[in-house]
């Protein structure tokens, strides 16, 4: 069982800019990636960033899969991105629902770029250039924000776009 806990809104680490990883191959970094992958699975999350577990490091996981809240989410293998950077993005933004393990009980309608092109290192240290679109682009941007000291609430255009989880789920049916 994973002993890591999710940091909640108000924890100062969620507002810090995360530090880059210099030695990806270090056993501590590889173990942290394994723990983050496990916690993402156990929490049924779509993603996780290292600051959410109290580590101010530039590691994030994206793990799209259909579920009750996002029935049309594409299925993808959980992926660790180390030191990610946005290289370019679409001009088009799309609003969509988001929640966060660090902000339990709330859902917000958040504008995000429809496409992002990102560079990152994988857990073997290889440089990757990849484009993400639609829902996976949303997950990436959400988790990337955590590395910049932001949470999805910072992107709300209006408080009218904020719902409780219970009210959000009512509207899905």
> Is residue 93 annotated as a catalytic residue, yes or no?
no
Among residues 28, 143, 165, 167, the one annotated as catalytic is 143
What is the enclosing helix (H) or strand (E) of 130?
strand 127-133
**22 CB-near residues (< 8 Å, 6+ apart):** none
23-34 as b/e, with b when 16 or more CB fall inside 10 Å? ebeeeebeebbe
Q: How far apart are CA 116 and CA 111, in angstroms?
A: 13
d(CA 169, CA 62): 23
Phi-psi label, residue 22: left if phi above 0, alpha if psi -120 to 50, beta otherwise = alpha
SS3 47: strand
Q: Residues with catalytic annotation?
A: 143
């Amino acid at each position: 069982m994973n002993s890591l806990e999710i940091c909640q809104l108000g924890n100062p680490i969620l507002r810090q800019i995360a530090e880059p990883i210099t030695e990806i191959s270090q056993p501590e970094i590889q173990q942290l990636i394994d723990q983050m992958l496990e916690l993402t699975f156990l929490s049924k999350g779509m993603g996780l960033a290292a600051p959410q577990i109290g580590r101010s490091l530039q590691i994030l996981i994206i793990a799209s899969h259909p579920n009750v809240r996002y029935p049309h989410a594409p299925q993808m293998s959980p992926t660790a991105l180390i030191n990610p950077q946005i290289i370019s993005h679409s001009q088009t933004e799309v609003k969509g629902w988001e929640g966060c393990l660090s902000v339990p009980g709330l859902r917000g309608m958040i504008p995000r770029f429809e496409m992002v092109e990102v560079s990152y290192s994988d857990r073997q240290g290889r440089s990757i250039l990849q484009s993400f679109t639609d829902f996976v682009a949303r997950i990436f941007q959400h988790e990337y924000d955590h590395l910049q000291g932001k949470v999805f609430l910072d992107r709300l255009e209006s408080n009218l776009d904020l719902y409780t989880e219970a009210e959000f789920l009512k509207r899905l049916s």
